[in-house]
Chain A
Amino acid sequence: MSTGAMEPTAGTGPEIAPATRWIEGTPSLHRITTDISRPMEAKPGRGWWICFGIAGAAVLNLLGMVTYLFAKGIGIWGLNNAVGWAFDITNFVFWIGIGHAGTLISAILLLFRQKWRTSINRSAEAMTIFAVMCAGLFPLIHMGRPWDAFFIFPYFPNQRGPLWVNFRSPLVWDVFAISTYFTISLVFWYLGMIPDLATLRDRAVSGIKKFVFRILSMGWNGSQRTWSRYEIVSLVLAALATPLVLSVHSIVSTDFATSLLPGWHTTIFPPYFVAGAIYSGFGMVLTLLIITRQTMHLERYITTNHLEAMAKVTLLTGSLVGYAYATEFFNAWYSGNVYERFHFINRATGPYAWCFYLMVLCNVLTPQIFWWKRARRSIPLLFIASILVNVGMWFERFVIIVVSLHRAFLPSGWGMFYPTVFDVGILIGVFGLFFSLFLLFIRALPMIAMWEVKGVAND
């Protein structure tokens, strides 16, 4: 937030070697506009339809299963007295984690003047918003009585006498953290899109399109006076969003860290969760961008340099996560606490050990290939790695939640969790929801920030 931050016109940061080009060739401003608008103006190709068909089917399945869930109760899941949370909260934490890359790229990289963010921040932010929407679904449907979900908000007038919520409960912190995060991300995303919406408005031929974009673009006309305020606001939002993004997953981690359960009751959870979140987020961004740049022919704007930069972040955060795993084991041993020790022995040798090893394989070993530049620049490798990272991060949450719960303090209360068809179905359905939203996004809105790319292109 130095004065430098206040002067958007200050030159490129020293981090990026001037040699690196973030756009291939030197397209004219008009070329950039047309290139990026193409997906929204052309008819969707077969590839898009296939993807959307699959994702849409998954969404229908989600609707059906959630309806049945509300009708029958969460007994249709595999949960039980020993394991009170499993797929539901695993999915919740997973999607919240995914949501972190977007804000990180758009906010933190903005503060750090990372020019390479310009081509990817828009779609990354969109991904954030969709991921948070998916995540938000679970606190609702995991409740025993979802129709009373509003109890969790401190609302007024309060029909139930002066009965408020328990501000000591991390679940209430979650409510505030996630709603704030969602709102700020949405505003940030939308604000960033206004100039491009104006561009689309002015390109629009059909009346409806023009009408819609006119409403959305709020009469933007590219006035420099507005531009200068606009950049200040972007910086302010970035400055707010940066601590916010760190706070959100820290708070989510307190759901576990503030409890007394061995495997949950750990002080390293906040940084550990944030690293994991950025890690999984970048994994998901890689997956999506690799797909879209191929299908939408945007290789010119989403270059291998972008992918390589993300690979580096993945390597860093992946190693951080691996370090966190090791720390947990060390502390369990060092604490001398019988319950802690038992839990970690059980994590590595118990009935769910395979989940643990799968998690280590995907999260710790996979990113190590990115020490090699060749690997960082190989599209297939990046794609496979990004998928593995997401699998691993899902299992990390599963291990933390289920393995800690299933064998806690009193052996008499030990049990096992076996997923039912509804657990799995809803997991798949939510992925469907996420991808449907993203597919619609790339058709309806500019998935690359034209005005920012133009700025970069003409430096």
Chain B
Amino acid sequence: MTDRFVVGSFGEPGTMLAAVDALRGAGVAIHDVFAPYPVHGLDQAMGIRRSRLPLVTLLAGLGGLCFALAFQYYTAVFDWPLDVGGKPENSTLAFVPVCFELTVLIGGLGTVGAFLLRARLFPGKREQLAALGVTNNVFAIVTYAPRDANDDELARRIMLENGADEVEEREGST
């Protein structure tokens, strides 16, 4: 579905941060902020909750560990036990390195996979830029456009007061 937004572009992270605070103080819901690099303090300002991705890492990692252990035990003890240098079939200590590597591998890939899914990033996705240069030197605050006329100017005003270079209304899809 398409929606209408108010987009304010800033040249300075400081002013942008101030604007975010002001907007939230005024109770304007901020859709998102776009920046060329992660601006310190913006998360708190926007009140973004901490991501639960590390949990994914933990689960994927444990999965890898279990798989590695089970697989090595199965091949060395059940499927075809062989006398290798007179060592016991279940040479657990010798299995440790592979277990560790698979934990890391699957844990890491799982996390990245989850991140791409959650952030809806995939190769060839057409980008939606809040403003030209958000990947270069522009910081853009995007709020939902107001439904009624009386506080029509609120978001725009606050942004301009806080030093926005430009404020415009645009249509876009979330």
Residues of A that sit less than 8 Å from B by CB = 6, 8-9, 28-30, 33, 154, 161-168, 172-173, 176-177, 179-180, 183-184, 187, 191, 194-195, 198-199, 201-203, 214-233, 236-237, 240-241, 243-244, 247, 251, 254, 450-452, 454-455, 458-459
Distance, CA A432 to CA B37, complexed state (A): 36
CB pair A202 B53 closer than 8 Å: no
A-B contact pairs, 14 of them (CB 8 A): A33-B36, A164-B79, A167-B75, A176-B98, A195-B36, A202-B136, A218-B124, A219-B128, A222-B34, A227-B38, A227-B42, A233-B112, A458-B13, A459-B40
* CB-CB nearest in chain A for B137: A29
* CB-CB nearest in chain B for A197: B135
CB pair B36 A29 closer than 8 Å: yes
Distance, CA A324 to CA B5, complexed state (A): 64
CB pair A243 B104 closer than 8 Å: yes
Task: Take A29-B36, A222-B35, A225-B32 as given contacts and tell me if A214 and B124 are in contact as well, using a CB distance cutoff of 8 Å.
Answer: yes
**Contact bitstring B36-51, A, C-beta under 8 A = 1, else 0:** 1111111110101011
CB pair A195 B37 closer than 8 Å: yes
CB pair B105 A183 closer than 8 Å: yes
| Residues of the B chain whose Cβ atoms lie less than 8 Å from the Cβ of A458 | 13, 37
CB pair A251 B97 closer than 8 Å: yes
| Residues of the A chain whose Cβ atoms lie less than 8 Å from the Cβ of B48 | 224-225, 228
Q: Out of A164, A214, A226, A241, which one reaches B121, CB within 8 Å?
A: A226
Beyond the given A183-B109, A202-B132, A251-B101, please list 18 additional residue pairs across the A-B interface where CB-CB is below 8 A.
A6-B50, A29-B137, A154-B75, A168-B85, A180-B105, A187-B112, A202-B127, A203-B136, A218-B122, A218-B124, A221-B135, A222-B135, A224-B32, A224-B38, A233-B111, A237-B108, A243-B100, A251-B97
* CB-CB nearest in chain B for A211: B124
CB pair B124 A215 closer than 8 Å: yes
| Residues of the B chain whose Cβ atoms lie less than 8 Å from the Cβ of A215 | 123-124
Q: Out of A214, A216, A230, A240, which one reaches B115, CB within 8 Å?
A: A230
Task: Take A214-B127, A219-B122 as given contacts and tell me if A454 and B72 are in contact as well, using a CB distance cutoff of 8 Å.
Answer: no
**Does residue B118 face the partner (Cβ distance < 8 Å to A)?**
yes
| Residues of the B chain whose Cβ atoms lie less than 8 Å from the Cβ of A223 | 32-34, 119
Residues of B that sit less than 8 Å from A by CB = 13, 32-44, 46, 48, 50-51, 53-54, 57, 61, 71-72, 75-76, 79-80, 84-85, 87, 91, 94-95, 97-98, 100-102, 104-105, 107-109, 111-112, 115-116, 118-130, 132-137
CB pair B43 A9 closer than 8 Å: yes
CB pair B34 A176 closer than 8 Å: no
CB pair B137 A247 closer than 8 Å: no
Task: Report B114 CB to chain A, min CB distance, Å.
Answer: 8
Task: Take A6-B50, A167-B75 as given contacts and tell me if A177 and B101 are in contact as well, using a CB distance cutoff of 8 Å.
Answer: yes
Task: Report A183 CB to chain B, min CB distance, Å.
Answer: 6
Distance, CA A221 to CA B98, complexed state (A): 38
Q: Out of B13, B128, B135, which one reaches A202, CB within 8 Å?
A: B135
Chain A binding site: helix, strand, loop or mixed by DSSP?
helix
| Residues of the A chain whose Cβ atoms lie less than 8 Å from the Cβ of B111 | 233, 236-237
Task: Report A285 CB to chain B, min CB distance, Å.
Answer: 23
| Residues of the B chain whose Cβ atoms lie less than 8 Å from the Cβ of A219 | 120-122, 124-128
| Residues of the B chain whose Cβ atoms lie less than 8 Å from the Cβ of A459 | 40
CB pair A218 B121 closer than 8 Å: yes
Task: Report B64 CB to chain A, min CB distance, Å.
Answer: 10
CB pair B37 A451 closer than 8 Å: yes
Distance, CA A195 to CA B33, complexed state (A): 15
| Residues of the B chain whose Cβ atoms lie less than 8 Å from the Cβ of A163 | 80
CB pair A162 B79 closer than 8 Å: yes
Distance, CA A455 to CA B38, complexed state (A): 7
Distance, CA A452 to CA B42, complexed state (A): 16
CB pair A236 B54 closer than 8 Å: yes
CB pair B53 A236 closer than 8 Å: yes
| Residues of the B chain whose Cβ atoms lie less than 8 Å from the Cβ of A198 | 127, 135
CB pair A232 B53 closer than 8 Å: yes
CB pair B123 A218 closer than 8 Å: yes
Q: Out of B37, B61, B98, B137, which one reaches A172, CB within 8 Å?
A: B98
Task: Take A218-B121, A230-B115 as given contacts and tell me if A201 and B127 are in contact as well, using a CB distance cutoff of 8 Å.
Answer: yes
* CB-CB nearest in chain A for B43: A228
Task: Report A297 CB to chain B, min CB distance, Å.
Answer: 20
CB pair A167 B94 closer than 8 Å: yes
| Residues of the A chain whose Cβ atoms lie less than 8 Å from the Cβ of B36 | 29, 33, 195, 199, 222, 450-451, 454
| Residues of the A chain whose Cβ atoms lie less than 8 Å from the Cβ of B109 | 183, 187
**3 closest pairs, A vs B, by CB?**
A219-B125, A29-B137, A164-B75
| Residues of the B chain whose Cβ atoms lie less than 8 Å from the Cβ of A8 | 38, 40
| Residues of the A chain whose Cβ atoms lie less than 8 Å from the Cβ of B34 | 221-224
Task: Report B7 CB to chain A, min CB distance, Å.
Answer: 12
| Residues of the B chain whose Cβ atoms lie less than 8 Å from the Cβ of A450 | 36
